[in-house]
Amino acid sequence: MTDDDRIKLEPSWKEALRAEFEQPYMHELREFLRQEKAAGKEVYPPGPLIFNALNSTPLDQVKVVILGQDPYHGPGQAHGLCFSVQPGVATPPSLVNIYKELHRDLNIEIPRHGCLQSWADQGVLLLNTTMTVERANAASHANKGWQFFTDRIIQVVSEQRSDVVFLLWGSHAQSKSKLIDGTRHLILKSVHPSPLSAYRGFLGCGHFSRTNKFLEERGLAPIVWQVPAN
C-alpha cells in the first residue's frame, strides 16, 4: 500500500488519493493490518478486493454513492462493495430490505443472489467507510485509520464531480453529509435498511426512483437497478 507500483488502484483514484497513501495514519493502518495477519487472524475482504469499490467505479464515472459502514465478517461474504456479497452467498438481511424497496419503488424483480457488481459497473460507488474487518468480529477495524481515507474519498467525489446522488442510510452514513457540497449534489437520507430499522422509513423512501429522476433531469443515463440473474 505504499509505493505507486504496489498500489493496485484504478488510475483516476490513484491520482486523486496519491497523497493519502503517504499520510501517517495510512502507515499506521498498514502496520495494523500486517500485525493482524501475522497473528493468524483472517481479514476480510481478501487483499485484492479491499479496493474493489474504487477499481469497479472510476472517479470520472461516479454518479451515485451508497455508503456502508463495515464489510461483512462471515467467510466468503465481503468482496469490497458495501451491502453486496459474492455470488453463491445468501443475501444478507439489509440487502433483502433494499431489494424489497426496489420492488416496491420500481417494481423490480427481487434477485436470487446478492452480488451488486452490476451497480458498481454503472457508476454506483458502493463504499464501506471501514474497508476491512476481522472474521466474526464486527467493527473490529473501525477507528484504525480507514475513516480518514474514506472521508477523503467522499470529499474528492464532492469536489471533483457534479450532480452525484449520495444515498445516506442510517446515522453513520448521515454523519458524512458534512463532507458533501449539497449545492452541487443530491443528498437523500433514510434510516438504515437493517431489519432493526427498515420499517421506520427505509421501506417506502423511494430513493431509487428519485435517484434516476435526478440523473435523467440532468441528461445522465439512469441506473439499471435490476440485478442480472447470474
pLDDT in tens, 138-175: 999 999 999 999 999 999 999 999 999 999 999 999 99
Say whether pLDDT at 8 is over 90: no
Confidence label for 1 from pLDDT (cuts 50, 70 and 90): very low
Confidence label for 6 from pLDDT (cuts 50, 70 and 90): low
CA torsion 175-86-1-30 (nearest 10°) is 60
Cβ(161)–Cβ(172) below 8 Å:
no
User: What mean pLDDT is predicted for residues 33-50?
Assistant: 97
User: What mean pLDDT is predicted for residues 59-88?
Assistant: 96
Helix or strand run (H / E) with residue 55: helix 52-56
Q: Hey, which residues are catalytic here?
A: 70
46-52 contact pairs (CB < 8 A, 24+) = 46/79, 48/8, 49/78, 49/79, 49/80, 50/80, 50/131, 50/132, 51/8, 51/9, 51/10, 51/13, 51/80, 51/131, 52/79, 52/80, 52/81, 52/120
What is the pLDDT, as a whole number, of residue 7? 67
What is the pLDDT, as a whole number, of residue 3? 44
- Pull the grid cell for residue 148: 480518514
Measured distance CA(88)–CA(96) in Å, rounded: 15
Average pLDDT over the chain, rounded to whole?
A: 96
Amino acid of residue 88:
G
Q: What is the pTM of this model?
A: 0.96
What is the pLDDT, as a whole number, of residue 53? 98
